[in-house]
Amino acid sequence: MHLVGTIDRPHTHDPRNQAPMTTTPTKEPVGSATLDVTNSGANDSRQNRNREMQLIPEALARAHMHDRLTTAEVERRALHLVSARRMQRRAERVSLRARRALAMAVMQ
């Protein structure tokens, strides 16, 4: 008599919670077309999926930090360029002022 589920071993669709499959002698001839079925592949894929799902927040945080670092680097370069242009304009004004002063000194 084979019961679907008992109190000690309830029937479940989750391969991890099912009782291990036992090989019972069958009345089929040796070398028949039926294959011995194992669910280790289902367990492995389920464990991999769970592991991947647990790592999703870390991957998202890593991607977020990469985006923030890239943005900060772009802003840093932009500030550097702005300050370089400002110093260049200031140097040009000082140079022009020095030329004028030299010209005034020569003319007198």
Token reading at 85: 């242009």
CB 23 within 8 A of CB 36: yes
What is the pTM for the complete model shown?
0.43
Contact status, residue 17 vs residue 42, Cβ threshold 8 Å: no
pLDDT of residue 55: 86
**Strands, DSSP E only, in 12-89?**
none
Asked whether the predicted pLDDT for residue 5 surpasses 90, the reply is: no
Q: pLDDT per residue over 44-99, tens digit each?
A: 666 667 777 888 889 999 999 999 999 999 999 999 999 999 999 999 999 999 99
CB atoms within 10 A of CB 89: 10
Amino acid sitting at position 59: A
Check residue 63 and give its pLDDT: 96
Question: How many Cβ atoms from other residues are within 10 Å of residue 43's Cβ?
Answer: 13
